[in-house]
Chains A and B, each alone.
Chain A
Amino acid sequence: MSRALESRQNRAGWAFVTPALALIGVFFFVPVLGGLVLSFTDFDVYAIGQPEVARFVGLQNYAEVLANPLFWKALGNTLVFVLAGGPLSVITSLVAALLVSSKLVRFPGLFRSIFFMPVVTTLVAVAIAWRYLYHSQYGLLNRALGLAGIHPVDWLGDPHWAMPAIILLAVWKNFGYNMLIFIAGLQSIPEEMYEAAELDGASAWSRFVHVTLPNLAPTFLFVGVMTMLGQFQLFSEPYVMTQGGPLKATTTVVLLMYEEGFRWWRMGTAAAIAFVLFVIMLLGTMLQMRLQREQR
């Protein structure tokens, strides 16, 4: 390539990426750094009108957040959602993917689309619908359980059941997404590997354990990390269905951040909460990558 063409491409390349980089820079990277700065200040409702009254307070916000029992409650709730809801969601996705991918299935595209349907729906709308389905008296879920002889459960009113109810909604809403990724992963496993295992007399179960699972390892890592990152950000479900209750049983870290920041306008505290969550998410990602590497 000639010098002239080279410099022309250099200029064109930068011109093409500049709008995207400028937008991402101004509206994402700058706010993220700003959030870090904000977390070291006492920025509150007075500072909104007059930013110059905000002062640097060092690590005070972090100390306060870590000393706040409600933060630990919210973190505990969020971890329950991640650690119980995450595996449940991934397993549901994998089972759906295996079923849909079977060669015996007719109309696999139809089933795939149906299972994926909840993913595209608007969360607020379906959460409102589920709130009625969970109704202790008139809800269809308790009606179905009643027919099976199980006593009615006050799903969203009982602190023990509210989080499981939200997990169930989230699994229903999201499993189709990871199902597609597992289907893509399953399709990339060469057919010969199954044929060879079958010639060796391997049963269906042992083919699954020795051929399918090891070949899906990269898919598991991707699905695991992305699901975890998404789940740490749980907000809309409790906001719409329970407002964090009953007895704070469904208050999550992001919901707490929202209330601190945008209801009470304690932006410094809220920014500290956001960064603590970010660090936990980073640690979670690193842990998963490490675990997966050790398995191989």
Chain B
Amino acid sequence: MRKTLTATVLHAVLVVGALLTLAPLLWMVSASLMPAGDANSFPPPLLPRAVTFQHYADLFTRLRLTRHLTNSALVSVSATFVSLVVNSMAGYAFAKLRFQGRERVFRTLLAAIVIPAQVGMLPLFLLLKAMGLVNTMVGVVVPFMAGVFGIFMIRQYALSIPDDMLDAARVDGTGELRIFWTIVVPVLRPILVTLAVFTFLSAWNDFMWPLIVLSDEAKYTLPVALASLAGEHVQDTELMMAGSVLTVLPVVILFVALQRAYIRGVMMGSVKG
């Protein structure tokens, strides 16, 4: 009896919490479907009086968001690709290949986690300027290409690969690169998916760095374009909400599709050795 009461209260609290958590996102979708001007009326409506997709059409025609969508996709996909190759090789080497100075280098990398990215941002900008990479897509991708967190994640996972498996291949005369591609990568697959989702999401959602590096409006990624539009179109609530939904939708879909991989990655970050 007491148990059912506790369970009921517990579920009530959870449902209320879940609704509050989802409310801003649901309102975003709802407002994006309202006829222009409706969101700014009193009392503020929860649901659209009439559903319209006009604002979504406007995003692609009048506001020409297609190129920003393309820019964001390009940046996120290339960041993910480079990060997968570079971090997986390094993470595996730190776990399984015995080389001189391995522990020292790894410890130095881990210690760097406490250095905030902003400390290096100004010189990085000047460096990229000297390299001619300011205001380019490559410039936006640079900070995502290799990361201590990614290396750490792969290393923790790769530690469980049995040495016998690798040594057997070595005795057969297989080269290290071939061992990596044919034996290690298939074993690492689950954690590679995690790393891919991680990198894609952080590149897609990033704001400060693309804001700094990109000066040409046509090259803006979606968040930077959205922030700049939000300044001009303060009154167009419904239009801005359509833009927000468009920005958030790809990452939410990715998360829902691959949430198990992503959640495992977050939890791994906490099991520090």
Interface residues of A (CB under 8 A from B): 5-6, 8-17, 19-21, 23-24, 26-32, 34-35, 37-38, 48, 51, 96, 99-100, 102, 104-106, 111-118, 120-126, 128-133, 135, 137-140, 143, 172, 176-177, 180-181, 183-185, 219, 222-223, 229, 232-233, 235-236, 239-240, 254, 257-258, 261-262, 267, 270-271, 274-275, 277-278, 281-282, 285
Contact = CB atoms under 8 A, between A and B. Distances in A.
Contact of A31 (B120, B248, B256, B267): B120
Nearest to B197: A120
Contacts of B180: 16
Provide the main secondary structure of the chain B interface.
helix
Contact of B146 (A12, A24, A106): A24
A236 B25 CA distance: 18
A143 B98 contact: no
Nearest to A221: B272
Nearest to A18: B90
Contact of B116 (A115, A239, A278): A278
Nearest to A181: B270
Given A135-B40, A138-B39, 18 more contacts: A21-B90, A27-B127, A29-B112, A31-B120, A31-B127, A34-B127, A111-B18, A113-B259, A117-B21, A120-B254, A121-B251, A125-B28, A125-B247, A129-B24, A140-B44, A143-B44, A172-B24, A181-B266
A24 B148 contact: yes
A124 B121 contact: no
B87 A20 contact: yes
B123 A34 contact: yes
Contacts of A16: 89-90, 92-93, 97, 176, 180
Contact of A233 (B17, B89, B116): B116
Contact of B10 (A8, A105, A130): A105
Interface stretch (B57-65, B185-193, B204-212): B204-212
B81 to A, nearest CB: 13
Interface of B: 3, 6-7, 10-11, 13-14, 17-18, 21-25, 27-28, 31, 39-44, 46, 85-87, 89-90, 92-94, 97-100, 102, 105, 109, 112, 114-127, 129, 142-143, 145-148, 151, 170, 176-177, 180, 201, 204-205, 207-208, 212, 222-224, 226-227, 230, 237, 240-241, 243-245, 247-248, 251-252, 254-256, 259, 262-263, 266-267, 269-272
A184 B271 contact: yes
A9 B18 contact: no
Given A23-B145, A30-B123, A116-B263, A133 B223 contact: no
Contact of B11 (A10, A106, A124, A176): A106
Q: Which 6 A-B pairs have the closest CB atoms?
A: A13-B99, A34-B123, A31-B120, A16-B93, A13-B97, A20-B90
A122 to B, nearest CB: 5
B256 to A, nearest CB: 8
A27 B131 CA distance: 12
B39 A281 contact: no
Contacts of B255: 116-117, 120
Contact of B208 (A15, A48, A258): A258
Given A114-B18, A180-B267, A232-B116, A124 B247 contact: yes
A186 to B, nearest CB: 11
Given A24-B146, A139-B44, A240 B227 contact: yes
Contacts of A222: 270, 272
